Amino acid sequence: MEKAFRMITIENLHKRYHDTEVLKNINITIDDGDIYGLIGRSGAGKSTLLRCINGLETFQSGSIVIDGVDITTLQDKSLRELRKNIGMIFQGFSLIDRKTVYENIAIPLECWHIPKPEQKERIEKLLKIVGLESKRDQKARDLSGGQKQRVAIARAMVMNPKILLCDEATSALDPKTTDEILELLLQLNKEYGITIIMVTHQMSVIHRMCTKMSILENGHCMVSGDVKEVFLEQPEALQNLVGILECNLPETGINIEILITDEAVGQQFHSDLSLSLKKPYKLINSSLTHYREGVLSAFVMNISEECLEEFLAYFDAQHLSYKRIERG
Ligand SMILES: Nc1ncnc2c1ncn2[C@@H]1O[C@H](COP(=O)(O)OP(=O)(O)OP(=O)(O)O)[C@@H](O)[C@H]1O
């Protein structure tokens, strides 16, 4: 398999505001073309980390290497060059309301003194990609939230960046519009290979979009890894974030959670189990989560103590991932 090219390497990053350390020894690597999710509670440090990546914030120690360049070595002009390679979109869109769609997208091109004919070519292409050709002369203030975010995406893409940072980009949108914006971002990632970092509170955004993820907690990076593996392992930081299982566990018997990543195995699980063991059990909870690639089935079962050994032997023989869960 071809070795992935590393787009961003963050090592031992510490960031303080006055006496408060808000990023504590962050180590994260992001490959070219990844869609990387950063999730965590409010105040965990996600936005600060994004601002460190695009050079808007300095930090006290550690390093951030982007596309082979250590950004701490950069001065004014080269820092501006770095930012040219990093587009950013926000929850609040940050458009200029009195300007038209076309004029908003043109802002970075104007700043970089790109000749008008080239500006036109780039903007026309992006208007088509984001589906706003018919709105080109409309003022930004007259657009819907979803249309505003499309303009912001086009503006972020207009300098052909290698990286797109999305800070809660869909938090202000309704579910259908969120879906359309996420689809657009997936399309940009697929067609242009752009590396995307998504800061979000919404676990569904991580499921749908991301290949890898980190969980930030109070300035620490608690967990990093493949999205599906993180959900399979259910580390404490993830449980803290999603809350403990919201189902009433019976007071007798043993409660076991099974996680299955193969969709077909998940669908067959109960019938296979019943046919093989012919032992009773209660199904307490079941859920199906769709990921970017694949599906994760989770079942909580209540099993009597006498039958436990047999069930566990079956799960082991089937190489199923399971764990005992205790009543809260
Ligand atoms: N300019 C600043 N000056 C002082 N403290 C700041 C500044 N910006 C952020 N902080 C503090 O840094 C911590 C991390 O903030 P940050 O905005 O990065 O968190 P977050 O995880 O993005 O939160 P949210 O999800 O609410 O946006 C918070 O305690 C915040 O109060």
Q: Is the ipTM of this complex over 0.90?
A: yes
CA of 47 to the centre of ligand 1 (A): 7
- The predicted model scores a pTM of 0.84
Helix spans in 85-212 (H):
101-111, 116-129, 145-157, 175-192, 203-209
Mean pLDDT of 232-254: 78
CA of 48 to the centre of ligand 1 (A): 6
Least confident of 56-70, 153-167, 291-305, 310-324: 291-305
Domain ranges of the chain: 6-241, 254-325
The residue ranking higher by pLDDT, 296 or 142, is 142
Domain 254-325 listed as CATH 3.30.70.260 = yes
HSE, CB side, 13 Å, CA atoms: give it for residue 312.
11
Least confident of 87-101, 149-163, 243-257: 243-257
Task: Report residue 160's pLDDT band, with 50, 70 and 90 as the boundaries.
Answer: very high
Residue range 6-241, CATH number: 3.40.50.300
Report which secondary-structure segment, H or E, holds 286. strand 282-290
CA of 222 to the centre of ligand 1 (A): 17
The residue ranking higher by pLDDT, 234 or 304, is 304
Q: Would you state the pLDDT for residue 149?
A: 94
Mean pLDDT of 247-275: 87
Mean pLDDT of 80-106: 93
Q: Would you state the pLDDT for residue 233?
A: 80
Mean pLDDT of 260-268: 85
CA distance 183 to 146: 12
User: Best of 15, 17, 167 to mutate for ligand 1, by most ligand atoms within 8 A of CB?
Assistant: 17
CA distance 193 to 162: 8
CA distance 289 to 32: 26
Mean pLDDT of 219-228: 94
Q: Do domains 6-241 and 254-325 have the same CATH topology?
A: no
Helix spans in 26-163 (H):
46-53, 76-84, 101-111, 116-129, 145-157
User: Best of 38, 41, 48 to mutate for ligand 1, by most ligand atoms within 8 A of CB?
Assistant: 48
For 9-49, what is each residue's pLDDT tens digit? 999 999 999 989 999 999 999 999 999 999 998 899 999 99
CA distance 208 to 198: 11
Evaluate if residue 1 carries a pLDDT over 80: no
HSE, CB side, 13 Å, CA atoms: give it for residue 55.
22
Of 204, 129, 195, 115, residue with least CA distance to 162: 195
Mean pLDDT of 180-195: 94
Q: Would you state the pLDDT for residue 7?
A: 95
Atom of ligand 1 nearest to the CA of 40: 21
Of 232, 320, 325, residue with least CA distance to 284: 325
